[in-house]
Amino acid sequence: MNEPPLKLKFTIGEASKILDIPVDTLRYYDKIGLLLPRNRDTNKYRYYDLEQFDLLITIRMLRAMDISIEQITTLLAADSLINIRELISGKQKEIDRQIDYLKHLSNKLRVLGQQFDQFKNEETIELVQTPSYWVLLTDSIMESGDPKLGSKVQQQMRNVNCHQEWLPFCHIISIVSADNLIAGNYHTYLNNGILSTFPMEGDSGIFRKLEPQYCARKYLVIHRDGYDEMDDHYEKMKAFISKRGLKIAGNSLEINLFNQYDKHYIEINIPVEEQD
C-alpha cells in the first residue's frame, strides 16, 4: 500500500487550525511583511510551507514573551543570537520581578483576610509579635507648620528606587508618642507617614525598617469624622496592658487598613514590656 505523498504546503485556513493562530493574525503578518506566504496560486490563495511553520512557531513564542512586532522583525532579520539572548535575559528578570510581586500580593491578601476577620469583634485586644515594616515618616500633618510639607513628601516618593509594586502594599499611618499615650493625648501626633509591607531594603535612605516588636494590638472601626471615638479604645488598651503587669514601651502605631466613604478600619499597635 502506497503512503500518501507528504503535504508540503498549507492554505492559510489550514495553517490557522494547525498552529492555532487566527486567520486575521496571519493576514496581518502578511500585510506588514513579517511573514509572507511563499506560494500563491492563480486564485491568489496563500500557502505556507513547513519551514514557515517553524517561523510561525518562533513568532508565537516571542509574542508570548510580550515582545513587540517591531522587535520581532529586527530579531528575525539579525544574523546572530546576541540580541535575542539579551532580550531573553531582560525578560527573565522582568518575569522574576512579577513572580516576586505576585508572591507578596498573595501574602498580602492572606494577611488582609485575617485582619478583616478581626473587625468582627472590636473588643478583642491581643498580645502579638509584629512583622517587619518599612516606614516613610513625615512630620505630623496636623502639628507641622511647614507649608511645603506636601511637596517634600512628594519628592521623597519620587526618589523611591524600588519598582512601583510597593504601592499596593502600603498604608497611611499615624504615630502617637509614648509620653502622649500615657498622658492621654491621643490626637497629638508625633509623625504621619506611609507604611509598606513590601520589603524596601534598597531604599533605606527613604524608608526606615521597623523591627518586630511585642505589642498590644486592637482593631477598631471609627466614623469618618469620629476620631474622638478612638479615645475609648486607647483607654481599654491601656487598662489591658496594666492588668497584665506590662507597661507602654514605645510609640503607638495607627495603621489605616481600609477606608469606606463613612468608615475607617484601623489597627493600633502599642509596644509593651514587663514592668520593673
- Please compute the mean of the pLDDT values over residues 137-159 and round it to a whole number: 60
pLDDT given at position 68: 92
pLDDT-derived band at 237 (thresholds 50, 70, 90) equals very high
pLDDT given at position 137: 78
- Please compute the mean of the pLDDT values over residues 56-69 and round it to a whole number: 92
- Beta-carbon count within 10 A of 262 CB: 9
- Please compute the mean of the pLDDT values over residues 110-127 and round it to a whole number: 92
Superfamily covering domain 113-274:
Regulatory factor, effector binding domain (3.20.80.10)
- Please compute the mean of the pLDDT values over residues 41-56 and round it to a whole number: 82
Report the amino acid identity of residue 178.
A
Name the grid cell of 172.
497611611
**Domain map of the chain by residue range?**
9-77, 113-274
Whole-number Å distance between alpha carbons of 217 and 214:
9
Helices (H) and strands (E) in the chain, counts: 8, 12
Dihedral sign, Cα of residue 191, residue 194, residue 196, residue 202 = negative
Q: What is the pLDDT of residues 174-206, one digit of tens each?
A: 999 999 999 999 999 988 888 988 777 765 567
Dihedral sign, Cα of residue 230, residue 232, residue 235, residue 236 = negative
Q: Quick check: helix, strand or coil at residue 11? A: strand
Q: Write out the CATH class of domain 9-77.
A: mainly alpha
Instruction: Flag whether the pTM goes above 0.75.
Output: no
CA angle (51 as vertex; 80, 49 as ends), nearest 5: 150
Angle between helices 69-77 and 82-118 (to 10 degrees): 150
